[in-house]
Chains A and B, each alone.
Chain A
Amino acid sequence: MSYQLSPEEMEVAAQLTAYFTPPVEGFPTIEEADPDGRVLELAIAQLVPQQQEQMRAAFARAAGQPIATYLASLRETNPVEYEFLRVIFVGRYLTCRPVWKVLGYPGRVPTPIDESEVAYFLRDNLLDGPRRRGPVYRQVPAEHGATSPTSAEWA
């Protein structure tokens, strides 16, 4: 079952959203990127139950406080909790497709391999370099039971 934010938690979440994902020129606002809050729900749903409880407790501590002052203090006194909150809200923003579009990120889409790609990326005799370099492994004394060819033998 997905986690449901209470009205009080929604208020804290809105403040944390404003702090961690403020409007930045050239990027969609959070209201444009996640207009109905669906991505925030999705982000919170990725947390395990213990993390959701941790989030609930963190929200309760932040409630009623000037958020910027509170987070500036939290960053110094409890960087783990600060980072936890940062990941939720920044992660939520970076999960939004309108943001991906601005970043030039196409998302994870199936891209079958064209057989010509192997040769294409090795074009212009790229492998001549390592072939000229030759063996780089070390000779192992045969008296210790190994019979591996040495670099000299390989060459």
Chain B
Amino acid sequence: MTIRRGTYDATKFDASPTDVADVVIIGAGPSGATYAKYLSSWGFHVVCLEQGRWYSNTEYLGAKDEYEMSLYGKWSKDANVRQAWEDYPTELSESDMIPVMYNAVGGATIHFGGHWARMLPSDFRVRTLDGVADDWPISYDDLTPFYDETDIEWAAAGLDGDPAYPPGAAPFPQPAFPIHAVGRKVAEGMNKLGWSWWPGANSIARKPVGDLVPCVRYGTCEAGCPNGSKASADVVQWPAALKNGATLVTGARVSEILTDERGLASGVVFLDRNGTERRLRAEQVILAANGIGTPRLLLMSQSKRHPNGLANSSDMVGRNLMLHPHSMVVGVFEEEFNTWLGPVGQNVQSYEFYETDKTRGHVRGAKWTSLCIGGPMAMGTMIPRGPVGAHGEDLLRDIKRMMGHAIMMVVVSEDLPNPENRVLLDPRLKDPSGLPAPKVIYKIDQNSKDLLAFHRARQREVLEAAGAYEIHEHELLNDEPGHLLGTARMGDDPETSVVNSFGQAHDVPNLRIADGSVFVTSAGVNPTSTIVALALRGAQEMVRQASELEVPL
């Protein structure tokens, strides 16, 4: 029996143990989907194993009254709150932040805000320019054509000509969003100070494209788009991959990557929701399970030949976890701005303080973004109050005063790699299938604290210049942003990195890593655009190698 094409639940998986897929992909998020779509277009039979399920637009609550309440329960960003079968718990007693993730077809793009930002040239040369961390083995120019291509696929909407970026990028395929009154107010403040800003870029449809319809500004992007306007991998990549003949198996929790006597990847073991264990052989394995799930699975795939976990001869698997600590500054104005008007995608972005200036006392910088706030429950969180919030008259008076009058600016800080910030296997905590949960050890370092404080102070200046009569600083948004990076980093040296610049594991040439784990440094921008550009680059290289038979097939 051959492996059936199409998409179905793991309980219906009926391939025989002797069937061999050309490629098995673990994880149906944006990086796995990028590989699936590209490889299937070249005739590879791709089988993707995803522990989550499909969602339809009708399940997203953005247009419902209960939407904000659902963010504290069913649609919480925290898997430890949701506790669905497809989630796995994360041990966080030694972590300053909650690693936001989502397990579903589409992965984290189900709940991302659609902020679509490229990294900058200096991001690839951090060691050379600033003497910290490491340079990437590739440059901005190496990635530019892949950014251009994925911009089209992801319906990137923006205004060409941002002087914060080098020229040479292809035009945005979709027109920019209006910056709204909120963005205009921020821009006015920036202009008074002579600082750089530009209308923000978002992977959200402005015009009908593919299966996407134009955004109608619910402002609920971070819990699925009920209108089908936000570009998520389940919408913009998987339909094409399935049409190409890919297989997507949902409800499939991979417990181990198997290796053969040569140490090469030979397939995977996975469990369905009933606990039935299945095996799938494959010529190539692509791991796309995010910056927590990927090192977890590598560490779970120990063998005699790989005693420290798969692809871990460097001891870098799980290390250098970067989570992008975010700060927020909120200004309250006399004017009314309709601050609930979406998308949650950014209206204005700024790179004014992105680059290192050592007179500031820290290295690297941050991107700024301003975006819509949402409804009354969100507004109720805009004044920092410590571990518990307010209620009664205090709260209602604040919400009424601020509703429609508050603007928030967010700091997307660069988070430097630290080998002690890492993902391990917890010896006690297990997921619903009895597999070890990841333990996250993550401490925000002094450079990040200084950086965030500097940027909050500058954002305060912007809001003051714009006319805010009241300003509140939030030092850390510990449940934002879900950027899980660096835990299987790329590099040219197998002794200090896990994969090469194409995501190919140094130790296991037919194993590739596709997600944000491969980042050498985090940059100070939202990473999804870079994750899919890197995945496309890796997929193209894989096809090239296959044509030259450089790896066993």
Measured CB to CB, the residues of A under 8 A from B are 19-22, 24, 26-27, 39, 42-43, 45-48, 50-51, 75, 79-80, 82-83, 86-87, 89-92, 94-95, 97, 99-100, 102-108, 110-113, 117-118, 120-122, 126-127, 129-138, 140-141, 144-149, 154
Contact = CB atoms under 8 A, between A and B. Distances in A.
A59 to B, nearest CB: 16
A138 B122 contact: yes
Contacts of B377: 90-91, 94-95
Interface in B506-550: none
Contacts of B165: 137
A110 B217 contact: yes
A113 to B, nearest CB: 6
Given A104-B404, A126-B184, A140-B121, A113 B178 contact: yes
13 contacts: A43-B69, A89-B391, A94-B399, A102-B400, A105-B375, A108-B375, A111-B216, A117-B180, A130-B163, A133-B195, A136-B354, A138-B129, A144-B128
Interface residues of B, number: 90
A44 to B, nearest CB: 9
Contacts of B400: 26, 102-104
Contacts of B128: 140-141, 144
B62 A46 contact: no
A113 B206 contact: yes
B176 A90 contact: no
Given A48-B73, A50-B83, A105-B375, A148 B68 contact: no
Contact of A108 (B166, B181, B188, B218): B218
Interface in B41-64: 62-64
A122 B81 contact: no
Interface string B173-216: 00111111101100110110011111100000010000000111
Nearest to B66: A42
Interface stretch (B135-143, B256-264, B268-276): B135-143
Among B139, B177, B180, the one with the most A-chain Cβ atoms within 10 Å of its Cβ is: B139
B90 interface: no
B389 A90 contact: yes
B84 to A, nearest CB: 8
Interface of B: 62-70, 72-76, 81-84, 120-122, 124-125, 128-129, 135, 138-142, 162-168, 175-181, 183-184, 187-188, 190-191, 194-199, 206, 214-220, 227, 340-341, 351-352, 354-356, 375-377, 380, 387-389, 391-393, 395-397, 399-400, 403-404
Given A131-B163, A146-B121, 9 more contacts: A48-B83, A79-B388, A95-B68, A107-B375, A108-B219, A110-B227, A111-B216, A140-B128, A146-B140
B204 to A, nearest CB: 11
Contact of A137 (B69, B164, B391): B164
Closest 6 A/B residue pairs (Cβ): A129-B191, A146-B139, A117-B178, A110-B216, A148-B121, A94-B376
Given A20-B391, A154-B163, A140 B220 contact: no
The B interface is mostly helix, strand or loop, or mixed, namely: loop
Nearest to B65: A95
Contacts of B392: 20-22, 24
A84 to B, nearest CB: 9
B164 A136 contact: yes
Contacts of B166: 135, 137, 148-149, 154
Contact of A83 (B164, B351, B388): B388
A97 to B, nearest CB: 7
A26 B393 CA distance: 10
A144 B218 contact: no
Nearest to A48: B73
B68 A94 contact: yes
Contacts of A102: 400
B196 A136 contact: yes
B396 A24 contact: yes
Contact of A141 (B125, B162, B163, B206): B125
A154 B74 CA distance: 48
Given A107-B65, A107-B375, A137-B351, A113 B177 contact: yes
Contact of A121 (B70, B74, B178): B178
Given A45-B66, A137-B354, A144-B139, A94 B380 contact: yes
B355 A97 contact: no
A146 B197 contact: no
Contacts of A83: 387-389
B391 A21 contact: yes
A145 B139 CA distance: 7
A110 B121 CA distance: 39
Contacts of A137: 120-122, 164-166, 351, 354-355
Contacts of A95: 65-66, 68-69, 377
A112 B44 CA distance: 41
Given A79-B388, A148-B140, A87 B72 contact: yes
Contacts of B356: 138
Contacts of B355: 136-138
Contacts of A113: 177-178, 206, 214-217
